[in-house]
């Protein structure tokens, strides 16, 4: 039972009556609304009871956005439910804004996500429900006849607005041939949309037509009358999968912030009214209010774009897992690589692995080699950044189709150092590392955006050298080495949508590789493996391997001449995993090591940051409450705050089984401090990239 509303002095109905103001007439049926306030204050993260005036009885339905008074101020809220009575003296709802937008199932999901990540319901709802857009709302209402408006605007109502909309996608039928080559693939299709949900970790085959396979999954679910959600990291994946799903049909909608406020809210309302049963979208689409949900697909769950950057920092994969359990929907987590979190779910048996046999993998994958393992025409140049064997492989590949070079750094020369003593070149004003924008290598400060007359503070030298070479400089080098090729540059800031000719050498940063077409790349080179793997961070190696697999899967099979060269140490664990094409095995071995060291994701970790005193108080209170369930406590470490001031960071880790207790202890302590108006701290559970 939620906490009841406590009457506030001077603002309740009794005070209005003393002042001569008439009390509003309550609604005849269910006159009490339980309202969640949309405020980030942790101590207000609970339902409050408010009176439903008779004039708002038909508008203040569960899921509706309302304005209510709290402590003399108007605040936003959302109605969770209507009940018959309350034990407290209540204030009335002041106004209702728009139709109900929060389905009961989504409200429960938001509560579960907030509790898992030690956040507030308000923060999660803001991600789950797009901002209101009055024009989109008016147009949606105009499409719905007044006779059935009440039925179709209630959140979670199944069906369509009038029978004119085909709620199923048109993926070209349920294609079983594509899934038949996977161990467990046909069983997965049979289980979709049924009473016993199927939950799978899909390790996509090299060169797989991912949009077509996802369309098969959605088609099998829709054939059983169930809805589906497909969550992808970015707009490029969204466009490809939406096209495969028949995105022009009425039963399929896209949900993404890139649509713009009006189009996004209009698409959301279509799903809410039951006009669409299939949603494909980016991160927040996992909350889409699809009626009779039967399937959630999360593609490439290792991509950082699927992790919410704002508090409480939820991940789409974890939200999808919570929703699968709550609504009895099937779940498919897929990718060319395997995240450690997905490997943990598979290791516990909660996800069933759907992958090719080793023989099928060898037949589908390109030939992957370390450049150091290939005989060099000139052994004295084997240590070059671009060995001769790389140029020879690309030249040979260009005779058969496009080729790809992946460079881990953007820019021209992103890192400079003194030519004489190798001291890093830093801006004398702000201290940031300087870079070169062109072949002149004149140092440029990224903060000021202008060339700097730099002199080494140690040896007074004025000449600089390249420490790291970026994608633009690399493109120039390959253009000189392969004069007959068309060199195309692809980066996150300047993406390349399509290749102009097949004889194209694409130089790209990780994740920006353009689609080579149905034939795939003839060859690919992964440069600077050591530089990519040397970046700090617990997730660095896993992320680098994920990007390598994503690039290599675009290369033709070895039987068709496809070849991938990695320029790096051949004995490295990540290089060997790519050569064997064994993403699941790598993830399982890495996870075993994390368990022995009590590192995430083998444990649940809370990062607590802020000023030294309040952060330490929160950590101490949480550790006192959990006692021996804390498996590791570390800190404080000095960090720079957002305002440039000095702050500290702590880590508190528990087992996976005690993760809920850790989140609850953090929520309780945050609420206690908020009620006392004590200094706040930042809390993140299982943040991406840590």
Three-state DSSP state, 403: strand
Residue 630 pLDDT:
93
Contacts of 531 (CB under 8 A, 6+ apart): 408, 409, 468
Residue 170 pLDDT:
40
Tell me the C-alpha to C-alpha distance, in Å, between residue 128 and each of 105, 123, 158, 336, 367.
12, 9, 19, 28, 44
Residue 622 pLDDT:
95
pTM: 0.86
Strand partners, 211: none
Contacts of 413 (CB under 8 A, 6+ apart): 435, 436, 441, 466, 467, 468, 469, 470, 473
401-437 per-position pLDDT tens digit: 999 999 887 765 556 677 667 677 777 766 667 666 6
574-587 per-position pLDDT tens digit: 999 999 999 999 99
Lowest mean pLDDT among 88-92, 274-278, 427-431: 427-431
CATH code of domain 365-593: 3.40.50
Strand partners, 252: 278
Residue 384 pLDDT:
64
Tokens of 448: 């000021």
Average pLDDT for 282-289: 96
Helices (H), 284-386: 316-327, 340-347, 358-364
Q: What percent of the chain has pLDDT over 70?
A: 84
Domains in the chain: boundaries:
13-97, 134-360, 365-593, 604-685
CATH code of domain 134-360: 3.40.50.300
pLDDT at 379 over 60: no
Q: How many Cα neighbours within 13 Å face the side chain of 319?
A: 33
Tokens of 193: 């949309």
Cα–Cα distance measured from residue 482 to residue 398, given in angstroms and rounded to the nearest whole number = 10
Domains 134-360 and 365-593 share a fold: yes
Residue 497 pLDDT:
81
39-60 per-position pLDDT tens digit: 989 999 999 999 999 999 999 9
Residue 153 pLDDT:
42
Going by CATH, does the domain composed of 604-685 fall within 3.40.50.410?
no
pLDDT at 112 over 90: yes
**Phi/psi class of residue 146: alpha, beta or left (left: φ > 0; alpha: ψ in -120 to 50)?**
alpha
Residue in the block written with tokens 């029978």: 163
Bridge-based pairing of strands 32-37 and 73-83 is antiparallel
pLDDT at 563 over 80: yes
């Amino acid at each position: 039972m939620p906490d009841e509303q406590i009457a506030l002095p001077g603002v309740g109905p009794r005070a209005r009556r003393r002042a001569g103001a008439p009390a509003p007439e309550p609604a005849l049926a269910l006159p009490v609304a339980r309202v969640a306030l949309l405020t980030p204050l942790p101590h207000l993260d609970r339902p409050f009871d408010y009176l439903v005036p008779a004039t708002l009885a038909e508008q203040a339905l569960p899921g509706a956005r309302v304005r209510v008074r709290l402590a003399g101020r108007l605040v936003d809220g959302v109605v969770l439910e209507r009940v018959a009575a309350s034990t407290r003296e209540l204030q009335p709802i002041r106004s209702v804004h728009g139709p109900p937008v929060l389905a009961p199932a989504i409200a429960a999901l938001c509560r579960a996500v907030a509790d898992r990540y030690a956040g507030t319901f308000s923060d999660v709802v803001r991600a789950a429900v797009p901002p209101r857009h009055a024009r989109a709302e008016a147009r949606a209402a105009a499409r719905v006849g007044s006779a059935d408006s009440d039925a179709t605007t209630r959140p979670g109502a199944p069906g369509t607005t009038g029978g004119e909309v085909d709620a199923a996608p048109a993926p070209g039928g349920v294609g079983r041939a594509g899934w038949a080559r996977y161990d467990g693939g046909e069983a997965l299709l049979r289980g979709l949309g049924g009473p016993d949900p199927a939950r799978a970790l899909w390790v996509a085959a090299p060169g797989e037509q991912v949009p077509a396979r996802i369309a098969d999954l959605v088609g099998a679910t829709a054939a059983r009358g169930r809805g589906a959600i497909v969550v992808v990291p970015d707009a490029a994946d969204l466009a490809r999968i939406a096209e495969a799903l028949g995105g022009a049909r009425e039963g399929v909608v896209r949900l993404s912030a890139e649509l713009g406020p009006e189009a996004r809210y209009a698409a959301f309302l279509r799903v809410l009214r039951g006009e669409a049963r299939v949603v494909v979208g980016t991160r927040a689409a996992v909350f889409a209010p699809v009626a009779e949900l039967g399937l959630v697909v999360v593609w490439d769950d290792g991509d950082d774009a699927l992790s919410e950057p704002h508090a409480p920092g939820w991940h789409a994969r974890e939200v999808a897992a919570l929703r699968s359990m709550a609504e009895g929907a099937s779940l498919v987590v897929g990718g060319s690589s395997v995240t450690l979190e997905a490997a943990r779910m598979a290791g516990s048996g909660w996800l069933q692995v759907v992958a090719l046999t080793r023989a099928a993998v060898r037949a589908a994958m390109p030939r992957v080699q370390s450049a150091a393992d290939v005989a060099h025409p000139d052994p004295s140049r084997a240590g070059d950044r671009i060995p001769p064997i790389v140029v020879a492989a690309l030249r040979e590949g260009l005779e058969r189709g496009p080729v790809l070079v992946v460079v881990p750094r953007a820019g021209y020369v992103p890192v400079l150092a003194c030519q004489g003593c190798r001291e890093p070149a830093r801006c004398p004003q702000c201290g940031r590392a300087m870079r070169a924008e062109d072949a002149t290598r004149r140092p440029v400060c990224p903060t000021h955006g202008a060339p700097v007359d730099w002199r080494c503070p140690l040896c007074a030298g004025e000449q600089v050298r390249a420490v790291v070479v970026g994608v633009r400089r690399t493109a120039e080098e390959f253009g000189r080495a392969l004069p007959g090729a068309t060199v195309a540059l692809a980066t996150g800031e300047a993406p390349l949508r399509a290749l102009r000719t097949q004889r194209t050498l694409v130089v790209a940063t990780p994740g920006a590789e353009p689609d080579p077409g149905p034939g795939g790349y003839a060859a690919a080179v992964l440069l600077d493996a050591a530089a990519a793997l040397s970046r700090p961070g617990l997730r660095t190696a896993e992320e680098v391997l994920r990007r390598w697999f994503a690039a290599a899967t675009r290369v033709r099979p070895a039987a068709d001449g496809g070849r991938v060269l990695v320029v790096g140490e051949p004995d490295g664990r990540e290089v060997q995993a790519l050569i064997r094409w064994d993403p699941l095995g790598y993830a399982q071995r890495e996870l075993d090591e994390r368990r022995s060291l009590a590192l995430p994701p083998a444990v649940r970790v809370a990062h607590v940051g802020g000023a030294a005193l309040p952060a330490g108080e929160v950590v101490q209170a949480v550790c006192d409450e959990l006692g021996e369930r804390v498996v590791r406590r570390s800190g404080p470490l000095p960090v720079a705050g957002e305002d440039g001031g000095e702050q500290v960071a702590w880590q508190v880790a528990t087992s996976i089984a005690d993760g809920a207790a850790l989140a609850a202890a953090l929520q309780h302590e945050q609420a206690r401090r908020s009620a006392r108006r004590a200094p706040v701290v930042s809390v993140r559970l299982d943040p991406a990239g840590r």
